Structure 1
């Protein structure tokens, strides 16, 4: 077997144990905390393994990736933390197993040929990244959050070691939530030279404010702005900065920044990555590094724990349809609503509502995915279509959505987002860009105690009468500025489509990349030309994002010589 390469190697030769650990594991048992202080994390992991075997992960918390090799039993165990803050890739070749923290490392260690996985390239076009367990390369897989790999006798298995158990109690304590938030930031803010991302949203403002409590007058916050209408929320970051008294650092990203940096960002990822907010995340991290900050706290995760994504409220409207008696829906309402007289737009909206309401979750979440709204044969070449399963993305989402037992639709949607939107998109965006800027990052909102507490908040309080994050907002209303409590969700979106229309070098970069992508044999050239035409004719935001996704695919391939 081959394990390449993971920091924090630890060995217990007399017991035949070899352990590699990365990250910051914590322990649910005091005796293991004591072992960690005495012998390090490796010693605590060895003690947990002797006690529980493959069930050792019942005792581990925090952010981590680990590999344990038991040469006596001929066994390998590898795992990543519950929310996928860390990553591990694995590959088998004959009877050999390779594990690495990068896809390329696993590919090389296993001695596999470098072949792109067509199915996963389709997943990239569908999700704008590649969700676990797939990777861009044939024969290489990555562990999803809260999963472990067990390998013995040449046989490998991958299974979850933790699945959340949601409950629906009558009430929840706002004071307890605030206490847990303070403890989570305290756990993460260890050491010197620590700052925080600050977008002016709920989570970054909470983390920044709690850091300011810990370090009055000495909390550095880093914010990104854009000189583009509808994209800049620097005003909210400044409200939070003044409210908490942080030392503000600001940078306005320009189209020139995009042209000069985007090929580097595309190549920095192990796999194609199409989240355009990676670029402002990089500039924020680089600004922090230039200012001498070595460790940033990020607010990612709060929306997925406390119901902050707009689609959760929207799906609640459709879920009401399913609770109506079937005879009423099918015998009365559907015929009436799909044949309403009057204006065409009223009829179109009624039909759209019925069509979406009849589609079950989680499939309905992808109603606006362009690969569902268009015939795939209009988008993809015939040769590429023959190599992929068009249903695979939905099957992945369905299996994940069904995993938690006895969970509400809201909680299932949030768990689905933990596994895909958060672990393989938002966290990868931040962690990789911080690595590129040579800076460390932690996610206090994903502290295990906070995660477990979120499971005990009733769904009706997480999202109430269409109000996103109702319980969280009520719990933090005396801490956060009112303007931030009431603001609409925004984020670090990049005005790429707008800038591309008026900045020639950026437009040239995009068009040159798309021209090269046409030759790859995956996307129909006619579809690429149509996307460019629609962008030029006024659909700058929507088609700009599509062009970004396609451009990043080509730039990634060029950066990795594929």
Structure 2
């Protein structure tokens, strides 16, 4: 097994075995509390052959069985083979920082951290799952437990799979409890948050290789850099990415933090030819993935790897502490009544037309989105708010057979079920739960894991320490979002650490000038890939509808995200259809013909 060596570089080879060699494990990730676990295991009489974290897995299994997952603090995906019981155990960390795919024909089971590894099996039928494609167009990623291939699954975060004598069981072992506790002293909570963040950062600074941090200039990454600087004897190495387009460039914010803590700061302006990086990203992402911030994320990882092997980041701060503006919108619109049909459908349709024909970020676009938002049932409003292709838009581009096949499949139901199943008492708490269980593991963590691993860099996320997450989940929603303001408690807690001007900036995000690119240097590529004979012959989309999307975008209607999703699917298909010597037509999507 190949694993990026960070801790116990000398003796950390895998697989690892129990003393009698009857239990064997392979492991991907980092266990941050392994020194304490080693002490516990040695005190119980276990003999450890290495000095790292991997070997703890087999001995913890001997002590706790599958409940060993509750002892682990870190990011992980592992497999354990129990020879005596003829049992395979697969497990994934609580929030899904490390990937794990599996497939089974009941007489056997296969698993891997990369989908392309499973696809090398000649016995695997690489047929696209049309429902996965349907969900991908809605959210820009394929949500677990599906993968883009039929018969191949993702093990969801916080789950354990047991394969024993041909029988498979999959069980959840962790989910946040969002029932709020009483808060009597807000300043005490701010101090507790600082303590938690300092400790979560400290244990993630353990490394035998050079270490640094991503610094975007936002509150979350800035707070992590501050926590590192306060606990480091040397200047922290920090890394930032910028754009020539000032609308997307946050380097000036990052410099404020870098100057305050005298970091060893490095910057890169993204000016590279996009035509060079897109095929590389399509190769590394084993499934279609259309979050365009993967581009600056890849360049940031590439820059960082020139100097360090481990990089801390601010991922998870928004999902834990209510950082997105959409959370404020959910809070402000919770009193909107349910609008009866057919008026709701008419309002949604009108809102879609207005937003599509408006400039990006304009008042009219926001009005159109608000109309569609208000038209939805409260449990579906959030799904509609964060979707990229609405059901109506997908129906317009699908071929007749694909539209008929997916007529009864509702992508919004995925989020609606999480929303309804949340233990939170407010809509803000429920959408925090939705993002923690869907967007965070399906989009953000996939993006950061793949772009860093592609550059042999390990990313670590202090805000995703489960101690911080559990503590934050139990706070009243009003300490996260109130009166249109976001991330209230976190900003107050880290205010002593950061420049005050930084706290007043609106959240910007890791955006790219996608609309401009698709009207400029990527225009020809989009036309070539989306409406050529290869794309047409798949029979998935209506060529005339795709061509109309392209035409409207060139004429000023912003279809950039939808075109990007289609472009990334096509790039993925052409890249992964021909691995090795296998023929291009082996990746397919069977659709009943009418």
Report the TM-score, using the length of structure 1 for normalisation.
Answer: 0.88
Partner of 2:497: 479
Partner of 2:118: 106
Structure 1 residue 452 displacement after superposition:
1.8
Q: 2:27 aligned with 1:24, yes or no?
A: no
Partner of 1:177: 193
The question of whether the paired residues in 1 share the 8 Å contact of 2:94 and 2:158 is answered with yes
The question of whether the paired residues in 2 share the 8 Å contact of 1:18 and 1:69 is answered with yes
Structure 1 residue 395 displacement after superposition:
2.5
Distance 2:283 2:376 in 1: 41
Higher helix share: 1
Partner of 2:461: 443
The question of whether the paired residues in 2 share the 8 Å contact of 1:205 and 1:480 is answered with yes
Deviations 1:343-396 (A, max 9, x none): x999x9699659726512245431473532635431111122233365342232
Partner of 1:423: 441
Q: 1:389 to 1:423 in 2, by over 3 A?
A: farther
Structure 1 residue 78 displacement after superposition:
0.8
SS at match of 2:334: helix
Structure 1 residue 54 displacement after superposition:
2.8
Q: 1:31 to 1:510 in 2, by over 3 A?
A: closer
SS at match of 1:371: coil
Distance 1:220 1:350 in 2: 44
SS at match of 2:299: helix
SS at match of 2:496: coil
Report the TM-score, using the length of structure 2 for normalisation.
Answer: 0.84
Q: 1:373 to 1:389 in 2, by over 3 A?
A: closer
Distance 1:97 1:235 in 2: 51
1:55-454 to structure 2, matched below 5 A, reads 55-108=67-120, 111-171=123-183, 172=186, 173-191=189-207, 192-215=209-232, 218-254=235-271, 256-290=272-306, 292-321=307-336, 356=374, 359-367=377-385, 369-372=387-390, 374-388=392-406, 390-454=408-472
Deviations 1:428-479 (A, max 9, x none): 1111111112222111111122112212322111112221000111111111
SS at match of 1:299: coil
Partner of 2:511: 493
RMSD: 3.0
Distance 2:368 2:447 in 1: 38
Distance 1:351 1:441 in 2: 35
Q: Which has the higher mean CA deviation after the structures are superposed, 106-115 or 86-95?
A: 106-115
Structure 2: gaps (5+ residues): 4-12, 349-353, 355-362, 578-586, 588-594
Distance 2:72 2:333 in 1: 39
SS at match of 1:320: coil
Q: 1:29 to 1:394 in 2, by over 3 A?
A: farther
Q: Which has the higher mean CA deviation after the structures are superposed, 490-499 or 76-85?
A: 490-499
Structure 1 residue 46 displacement after superposition:
3.3
Distance 2:439 2:421 in 1: 16
Structure 1 residue 200 displacement after superposition:
0.6
Q: 2:546 aligned with 1:528, yes or no?
A: yes
Q: Which has the higher mean CA deviation after the structures are superposed, 41-50 or 51-60?
A: 41-50
Structure 1 residue 482 displacement after superposition:
1.5
Q: 1:352 to 1:225 in 2, by over 3 A?
A: closer
The question of whether the paired residues in 2 share the 8 Å contact of 1:19 and 1:68 is answered with yes
Distance 1:392 1:373 in 2: 8
Structure 1 residue 501 displacement after superposition:
2.4
The question of whether the paired residues in 2 share the 8 Å contact of 1:28 and 1:59 is answered with no
The question of whether the paired residues in 2 share the 8 Å contact of 1:251 and 1:287 is answered with yes
Partner of 2:590: none
Partner of 1:8: 14
Structure 1 residue 140 displacement after superposition:
0.6
Structure 1 residue 27 displacement after superposition:
5.0
Distance 2:389 2:559 in 1: 14
Distance 1:10 1:350 in 2: 57
Deviations 1:485-508 (A, max 9, x none): 1111112211122133243xx322
Distance 1:300 1:458 in 2: 22
The question of whether the paired residues in 2 share the 8 Å contact of 1:201 and 1:236 is answered with yes
Q: 2:561 aligned with 1:555, yes or no?
A: no
The question of whether the paired residues in 1 share the 8 Å contact of 2:426 and 2:477 is answered with yes
**Aligned with residue 478 of structure 2, among 460, 463, 467:** 460
Partner of 2:584: none
Deviations 1:206-253 (A, max 9, x none): 112222223355211111111124212222112222122212211111
The question of whether the paired residues in 1 share the 8 Å contact of 2:373 and 2:384 is answered with no
Q: Which has the higher mean CA deviation after the structures are superposed, 311-320 or 78-87?
A: 311-320
Distance 2:368 2:251 in 1: 38
The question of whether the paired residues in 2 share the 8 Å contact of 1:91 and 1:110 is answered with no
The question of whether the paired residues in 1 share the 8 Å contact of 2:336 and 2:374 is answered with no
Structure 1 residue 522 displacement after superposition:
1.4
Q: Which has the higher mean CA deviation after the structures are superposed, 214-223 or 365-374?
A: 365-374
Q: Which has the higher mean CA deviation after the structures are superposed, 390-399 or 98-107?
A: 390-399
Q: 2:559 aligned with 1:543, yes or no?
A: yes
Give the number of aligned pairs.
Answer: 538
Structure 1: gaps (5+ residues): 339-343
Q: 1:518 to 1:533 in 2, by over 3 A?
A: same
Q: 1:298 to 1:350 in 2, by over 3 A?
A: closer
The question of whether the paired residues in 2 share the 8 Å contact of 1:26 and 1:33 is answered with no
Q: 1:162 to 1:362 in 2, by over 3 A?
A: farther
Partner of 2:351: none
